[in-house]
């Protein structure tokens, strides 16, 4: 073997080692590293219609897992949208909003009231507003579950601690908004 053949063999080995097992049959029938690179380039080229279709299918079929957070789900939707934009397929914001809502509500039946409120709006929210609304709803749902689990005891303790804090304030340095004197508050 001469130096060229050794370099070819090394280059082919690097390419074969660096790809997923599903791609090896496409590459193994090629005789040079240049031919292998051409196959990879064709498969992953940004203008490849198959890649666009696969990404669109993935975006439309993406559902939030029951144990996943809203933030991780929306981050993945954003990544898929950005990957589509990188290959020249721009997805309208309203379509991304609809896809995201469908992906959240198919899995989370607990959010039925929230879903009805979103759908009842005259216009769907923009992407950033939807992100904020879904994150806030997740926090409220999680917070509501702790109250449901611990019942009235949590509510009583929360109210008691608020009253205790209010009565233990030092009002000597507080100025009244009504009369301007120190030591009391207008009620």
Domain count, the chain: 2
pLDDT, tens only, 161-184: 444 444 556 666 777 766 777 777
For 39, the domain range is 3-44
Q: Is residue 33 part of a domain?
A: yes
Tokens of 87: 């290959």
- Do 74 and 91 share a structural domain? yes
Q: Are 125 and 115 in contact (CB under 8 A)?
A: no
> How many angstroms separate the CA atoms of 127 and 94, rounded?
8
pLDDT, tens only, 18-58: 887 777 887 888 889 899 888 888 777 656 677 788 889 99
Q: What is the CA radius of gyration of the chain?
A: 29
Q: What is the mean pLDDT of the chain?
A: 79
Q: Is residue 128 part of a domain?
A: yes
Choose among 6, 15, 9: nearest CA to 37: 15
pTM of the model: 0.53
Task: Name the helix (H) or strand (E) containing 45.
Answer: none
- Do 85 and 36 share a structural domain? no
- Do 20 and 107 share a structural domain? no
pLDDT, tens only, 61-102: 888 888 888 899 999 999 999 888 877 888 999 999 999 888
- Do 87 and 22 share a structural domain? no
- Do 64 and 7 share a structural domain? no
* Unique residue bearing structure tokens 């009583």: 156
- Do 55 and 37 share a structural domain? no
Tokens of 133: 């609304």
> How many angstroms separate the CA atoms of 160 and 156, rounded?
6
């Amino acid at each position: 073997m001469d130096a060229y053949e050794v370099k070819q063999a090394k280059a082919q080995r690097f390419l074969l080692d660096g790809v997923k097992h599903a791609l090896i049959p496409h590459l193994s029938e090629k005789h040079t590293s240049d031919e292998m690179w051409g196959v990879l380039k064709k498969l992953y080229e940004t203008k490849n219609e198959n890649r666009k279709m696969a990404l669109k299918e993935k975006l439309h079929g993406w559902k939030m897992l029951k144990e996943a957070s809203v933030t991780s789900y929306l981050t993945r939707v954003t990544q898929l949208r950005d990957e589509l934009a990188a290959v020249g397929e721009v997805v309208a914001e309203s379509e991304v909003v609809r896809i995201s809502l469908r992906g959240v509500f198919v899995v989370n039946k607990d959010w039925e009231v929230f879903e009805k409120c979103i759908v009842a709006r005259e216009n769907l929210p923009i992407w950033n507003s939807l992100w904020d609304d879904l994150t806030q709803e997740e926090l409220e749902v999680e917070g509501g579950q702790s109250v449901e689990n611990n019942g009235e005891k949590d509510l009583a303790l929360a109210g008691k601690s608020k009253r205790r804090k209010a009565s233990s304030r030092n009002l000597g340095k507080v100025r009244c908004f009504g009369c301007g004197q120190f030591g009391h508050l207008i009620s």
